[in-house]
Structures are given as structure tokens and as C-alpha cells.
Amino acid sequence: MIKNKRLQWNIFIAFAIYFCLLNSLNAEEFDDRVIKHIEFPSWFKDSPFLELSDDLEKARLNGKKGLMLFFTTEGCSYCDRFIRLSLANPAIAKAVQKNFDSIGMEIFNDADITTPVGQSMPAKTFAKEEGVQFSPSIIFYGYKGKRLLRLVGYQSPARFKRILNYLNGDLYKTQKLQDYLKHHVAQESIELKTTLRNDIFFRKPPYILEKGYRSEKKPLFVLFEKKNCMECENFHDAVLVLKEVRSKLKQFDIIRLDAEDDKTPILTPSGQRTSPAKWYAQKKLSRTPAILLFNEKGKEVLKTDALVMRLRMVNSLKYVLERAYDKGWTFQQFGREVGRAKARRERLEKGLGTEEL
């Protein structure tokens, strides 16, 4: 009996420590409005001319699977967080270097490069063609420049370790990353006992999202969440409550879906009949919360399951509301223009002139 009580007490203490650590990590101040200078880890390879096909060949000759390209932008707080918390982890650095040479790339670099498949083009064109919407984006390339995997946004140390195990173990050849992560996260997770939180903005079913069945004057905001999701809780508490976010959300039709719900019928903007769980999987999402943004005609404009905090959330909504995609801009281009406009206003207010930055 005493042993059982001791065991129960030890379990209680272990859980208390876990949640204290979890809360301290969540409470770590992360303001994505803060501009950060980006410095790549010392073990990244120097590729001054970005002849990536040659870099890939060198990696192969050294017995590695290929290249890891780290796409970033100067000032990116999410990139800084990933470098500082994940890539600086000795075990992670060792796991990357075991099978990949790593090269950092600036998304807006105008210089000509040679891509992993040997084509010549400006670096910024290559980034756009590779679907780099958000920074950071991490893309792994294998033999003959074949893309093995693309990751979008900040990756926590625990998540990135799992992904490296997936790549280094060649599991990408037989299993989708989404299925691999779902299995391992389910094994390792601790039951949090949280339910889906409601919001007055969330529309109730039936979920008929096809054009003509909803307001044609509003774009569409689709939010995937699931029960027992700490990140979802944080998203509500740190992002959805913000006045500047809510003022823009009012201009959207907003649908919140359970990523594990395989029962509720949905008619998607494209007219497909499905369920939330199937649609989530079809969109190749692997984290919650995840966001899909559509214009008023039902065309998908933006998709992410990465960490989204204050500034990125506001800019994502503005990107859709201001129809920046009609200019051919990626989200990252739009974010840069928003930042430049803000800097010009601040210079003007300080009497420093309005010259281009």
C-alpha cells in the first residue's frame, strides 16, 4: 500500500514538473514583431556562388543523402527561434550532419544560382518555384536533386528530431510524414484533457463552403484544431484574443473544424464532399492549429500548419483582404512590403525623410 502511494505521489510530481516546464516554455516571450539578425550555425556549408548541383554532388561523394536548404529572410524571428532552439541542439546538429550538408539561403537574394537539378535562375525565383511562402522553410534534396521533404515554419526540437529520424531512417520511401508523426506523437503524448474551444466567430454546421452557398463578399478562414492540443490552447489565448486580429477576422467567413472528425460532412470550396479529417489529410497538414485561407471565390490563397503568432497572423489576414496575391506576391514578399511601409512611416514621423529603405 505504501509503495502504491509512493508511486502515485511520484507520478503526481512527474506530471507537475512536466506541466511546469511546459508552461515555462509556453510563457517564454516570443514576439514575432521583433527583428532578429540571422546567423547560420557554424556547421552550415559555405556556398558563396550557390551552385547547388555541385554542392549536392559533393555531399553524395562524402556518403551523404543530400542537401538541407534553409530558406530565411533577414530579421525573421521564427528563423532565429528555430536556429537558437533546434539547430543549436547538439543532438539535432549531429543528426543533420550525419546525412545532409546544410546551406542557408536568403529568400529575396537577386543573385543567380544553380539549382539542385542544374538550372540557372535568380535565388528568389528558385525560392518561389519551390513554394517557399513562409520563412523559415527547410527543404531536403536527395539524389539528382529530388526533393525529399519540405518543412514550413518553426520546428520545435522534439518535432524536428522525429523528422530527422524519419529522413535518416529512409522511412520517407514507404510512409507519409503525416502518418509517421501521427503515430509517434500519439505514442509519446500525455493526455491533456482539453476540448475544442468555441468562439462567437465560428460558424455552425452545416459546413457548405462552396461558392454560392455562403457570402460571396467575404473570403474564407478555415481553422483546423483537435482536442488535447496545447498549441491550439495557446493560439486562442495569445493570438485569437487580440483586437487587431479580431477586427480583421470579422471580414471573413470563419469555419473551425476538428482535424480528427471523420463523421461531419463538408462541402469544400471546390465542391468536394468529404469530412474534416479527410480534408485535413488531403491538404497534407501534420500539426494543429492549421489554417487555410480562401478568397471570396473559393480559391485557396494561403495554407500553413506552422507556428503563427501576432504579426504573422495579422499579415496573413491582410494578405488575403488586400488581395496581394493578385500582384503575384508571395506571403513573404507581402510581409516585406508591409515592414518597409512601416519603416518609412516611422522615419517620416521622426523627420528623417521618406527615402526607400
Residues 184-220 pLDDT 10s: 765 555 556 789 999 999 999 999 999 877 766 899 9
Least-confidence region, from 20-29, 144-153, 248-257: 20-29
Residue 263 resides in a domain = yes
Mean pLDDT, all residues of the chain: 88
Task: Identify the pLDDT of residue 182.
Answer: 84
Residues 137 and 169 in one domain: yes
Q: Which domain holds residue 301?
A: 207-321
100-106 vs 66-72, strand pairing mode: parallel
Residues 113 and 217 in one domain: no
CB 154 within 8 A of CB 80: no
Q: Does the structure show a pLDDT above 60 at 112?
A: yes
Q: Does the structure show a pLDDT above 50 at 23?
A: no
Residues 340 and 295 in one domain: no
Residues 339 and 314 in one domain: no
Q: How many domains does the chain have?
A: 3
More confident residue, 87 or 7: 87
Residues 219 and 342 in one domain: no
Cα distance from N-terminal residue to C-terminal residue, the chain: 72
- Residue 120 cell numbers, joined: 540557372
Residues 173 and 259 in one domain: no
Residue with cell 504573422: 312
Residues 340 and 255 in one domain: no
Distance between CA atoms of 248 and 314, rounded to whole angstroms? 8
Task: Identify the pLDDT of residue 342.
Answer: 74
Residue 333 resides in a domain = yes
Q: Does the structure show a pLDDT above 50 at 2?
A: no
What is the arithmetic mean of pLDDT over 65-85?
A: 96
pTM of the model: 0.87
Residue 32 resides in a domain = no
Residue in 136, 149, 139 with CA at minimum distance from that of residue 332: 136
Task: Identify the pLDDT of residue 356.
Answer: 54
Residue in 15, 6, 3, 25 with CA at minimum distance from that of residue 234: 25
Q: What is the CATH number of the domain that holds 245?
A: 3.40.30.10
Residue 14 resides in a domain = no
Residue 193 resides in a domain = no
Residue in 283, 284, 306 with CA at minimum distance from that of residue 235: 306
Task: Identify the pLDDT of residue 125.
Answer: 96
Q: Does the structure show a pLDDT above 80 at 273?
A: yes
Residues 91 and 214 in one domain: no
Distance between CA atoms of 39 and 41, rounded to whole angstroms? 7
Residue 28 resides in a domain = no
Burial 54-64 (b: 16+ CB within 10 A, else e): ebbbebbeeeb
Residue 150 resides in a domain = yes
DSSP string computed for 282-333? HTT--SSSEEEEE-TTS-EEEEE-S---HHHHHHHHHHHHTTGGGGT--HHH
Residue 246 resides in a domain = yes
Residue in 128, 274, 338, 45 with CA at minimum distance from that of residue 283: 274
